[in-house]
Chain A
Amino acid sequence: MQSASSTGTQRSAKAQKFHRLLSLPTVDLAALRELLWSGAPEEDPKVRAQSWQMLLGYLPPVQDRQPSGLQKKREEYEELRRRHYLPVEAEAPSGDVDGAILRQIRLDIPRTSPGLPIFGHQRIQQLLERILFIWSLRHPASGYVQGINDLATPFVVVLLASELDCLPEEINVDAASDDTLDAVEAGAYWCLTKFLSDIQDHYTSGQPGIQQMVAKLREIVHRIDQKLYDHLEEQGLDFLQLSFRWMNCLLLREFPFPCVIRLWDTYIAEPLEGFSSFHVYVCAVFLIYWSPQLKQMDYQQLMLFMQKLPTGKWRNQEIETLLAEAFVLKSLFHSSPNHLNPR
């Protein structure tokens, strides 16, 4: 197989910067955050995977510790797999909570496809099933909630592409050894776990995290696009209606998959307190992007339009514009927090 990673001389300037940083004995995480915020080089799948894993605390930043660190994490995951998964592998017992969770996961696995054929592959489906089931047992306050299956897919794709050293759309699952898939599974599990830890209250009873995000989105839009806000109010369109899925699936359902990966570069690169506050600004900018059209629509048109936004042809460029505007917006509100206080 031809390597997707470019050789030194052909590397883009962006890839070179990443390589320089990642090859240091101890990687400067703040510098890595800054670089990844503007996107990983698309032509170099290993760079993205390394950066994601490092910033999500899976891959140690000290090079000497990487082999042992990864080994330990993989063993921990193997142990979780042994403890939680095997006893129920055969069938989902009816009646108990774990059985109900497994049944739900098994319903959703075949319909988990971010537009990539690899998710129709049995080995990937089983891998995803284990990740979701174990995650859900380890997080009983929320358990598995529909949509979390979507959120696991970027990690599977990015790590698998890196292991096979190919572009995401070129992944050939049959070419992956069992050991490769085990490594991807453990990595995706830990990365997902860390990523979701910022938004676990999205999925607990009553979904309070989502309610809060929606309230904040409403407030931001009220401040910066009063006309749109008034129009939506007038039409009786609730913000929860229009943005619930955006919050629940972190916009993953709204963009082509490559755009989601690019979006998540930035989310993962967001400062330590997590991406969730930034996400609301991204949603605000995304909503206001459609403002001219939305203001012409009645309730029904609004609902139908918002359900299926015309983003099918979006590329990284549109995502980057969105991110840049969201950054400006966030800075604006953060420098004058009273903007967001209730009047």
Chain B
Amino acid sequence: MSKDDDYDYLFKVVLIGDSGVGKSNLLSRFTRDEFNLESKSTIGVEFATKSITTNGKVIKAQIWDTAGQERYRAITSAYYRGAVGALLVYDISKRVTFENLERWLQELRDHADPNIVIMLVGNKGDLRHLRAVGQDEALAFAEKHGLACIETSALEATNVETAFMRLLSEIYTLMSSRQITDADSFRNAQPAMQVEPVQAAPSRNGCCP
């Protein structure tokens, strides 16, 4: 098979958050180092993969980018099944996208594995002059819900790689700490995530370095 298929673990990750926060561009920046200012809205879900190496292991991330509009929830929530990680994205220049985060967490509680690792991502860091969500608020929210958090700019390619790497590493760490070494269960499309609720200290990762 192609080299692309040479991996130790396959992690399914979902990108969620309000419409227009930049989910698709985060994905294209991470997987293809591309950014499109005029990208069309995502209809339903889109998909991309990328392999990374952490702790000497090759992890293949299978990332599902979902449409943000509420009407699509019935379709998109089906994709949460089997996901071991989620990037929960808001736009630092649009307050309402931050205020809706609770609803997105509820979506994950309703449809995703309870042990899913979630990273809060404040995107569009390049719009610092229009900032509407403070870093301290984001940090407080993340701590309250036990999430790691980070600010990114898909446009300027800031922290995008870091965000994905941290999420994937954390999933890996949690998984290894639970001695789940049965790679086979992660090789199929719907791996069974069997880790305890997230205990990793979010403040260690720190919001907004």
Do A and B assemble together? Answer: yes
Interface residues, chain A, CB within 8 Å of chain B?
Answer: 94, 103-104, 107-108, 110-113, 142-143, 145-147, 149-150, 203, 205-207, 236, 240-241, 244-245, 248-249, 253, 299-300, 303-304, 307
Q: Does B198 contact A (CB under 8 A)?
A: no
Between A and B, 18 residue pairs with Cβ closer than 8 Å are: A104-B19, A107-B19, A107-B41, A108-B41, A111-B38, A113-B38, A145-B71, A145-B72, A146-B19, A146-B71, A147-B43, A149-B41, A205-B71, A240-B75, A245-B43, A253-B40, A304-B48, A307-B46
Q: What A residues does B46 contact at CB under 8 A?
A: 307
- Main SS at interface, chain A: helix
A111-B38, A300-B62 known; A253 vs B43 contact (CB < 8 Å): yes
B84 at the interface (CB under 8 A from A): no
Output the residue of B71, B74, B96 with the most chain A CB within 10 A.
B71
Indicate if the CB atoms of B69 and A145 lie closer than 8 Å: yes
Output the least CB separation between A227 and chain B (Å): 21
Task: For chain B, residues 1 to 49, give those with C-beta under 8 angstroms from any C-beta of chain A.
Answer: 19-20, 38-41, 43-49
B40 CB contacts on chain A under 8 angstroms: 111-113, 150, 253
- B41 near A111 with CB under 8 A, answer yes
- Residues in chain B near residue A206, CB distance under 8 A: 74
Residue contact B75 to A244, C-beta cutoff 8 Å: yes
Chain B min CB distance to A107 (Å): 4
Distance to closest chain A CB from B11 (angstroms): 14
B142 at the interface (CB under 8 A from A): no
B39 near A146 with CB under 8 A, answer: no
Contact B69 A104 (CB under 8 A): yes
Determine which of B44, B47, B49 lies in contact with A248 in the assembled complex, contact meaning CB atoms within 8 Å: B44
Number of B interface residues in the complex (CB < 8 A): 22
A132 to B165, CA, bound (A): 40
User: Residues of B at under 8 Å CB distance from A?
Assistant: 19-20, 38-41, 43-49, 62, 67, 69, 71-72, 74-75, 96, 189
Partner of B69, one of A146, A241, A249: A146
Q: Which 7 A-B pairs have the closest CB atoms?
A: A244-B44, A107-B20, A245-B43, A303-B47, A146-B41, A145-B71, A206-B74
- B residues within 8 A CB of A104? 19, 69
Residue from A94, A203, A245, A303 within 8 A of B71 (CB atoms) = A203
Cα(A151)–Cα(B21), bound, Å: 23
Q: How far is the CB of A188 from chain B (nearest CB, A)?
A: 20
**9 extra A-B contacts, CB within 8 A, seeds A108-B41, A300-B49:** A103-B96, A107-B20, A111-B38, A146-B19, A150-B40, A241-B45, A248-B44, A253-B40, A303-B47
Q: How far is the CA of A123 from the CA of B142 in the complex (A)?
A: 42
Nearest CB of A to B60, in Å? 9
Docked pose: A248 CA to B96 CA in angstroms = 26
A304 touches B74 (CB 8 A): no
A94 to B97, CA, bound (A): 12
Q: Bound state CA distance, A206 and B41, in angstroms? A: 19
- Report the minimal beta-carbon distance from A143 to chain B, rounded to whole angstroms: 8
Q: Is the CB of A146 within 8 A of B43?
A: yes
* Alpha-carbon separation in the docked complex, A304 to B62 (Å): 11
Smallest beta-carbon distance B85→chain A, Å = 18
Give Cα distance in the complex from A300 to B46, angstroms.
12
A299–B60 Cα gap in the complex (Å)?
14
Please, how many angstroms separate the alpha-carbon atoms of A94 and B99 in the complex? 12
Q: How far is the CA of A313 from the CA of B75 in the complex (A)?
A: 31
- The residues of A that contact B71 with a CB separation of less than 8 Å are 142-143, 145-146, 203, 205, 207
Quick check: A244 and B43 within 8 Å, CB to CB? yes
CB atoms of A299 and B69 under 8 A apart:
no
Chain A residues with Cβ below 8 Å from B20 are 107
Residues of B within 8 A of A112 (CB): 40
Q: State the CA gap A206–B67 with chains docked (Å).
A: 14
Closest A residue by C-beta to B76? A244
What is the bound-complex CA distance between A307 and B31, given in angstroms? 15
- A63 CA / B38 CA spacing, docked (Å): 43
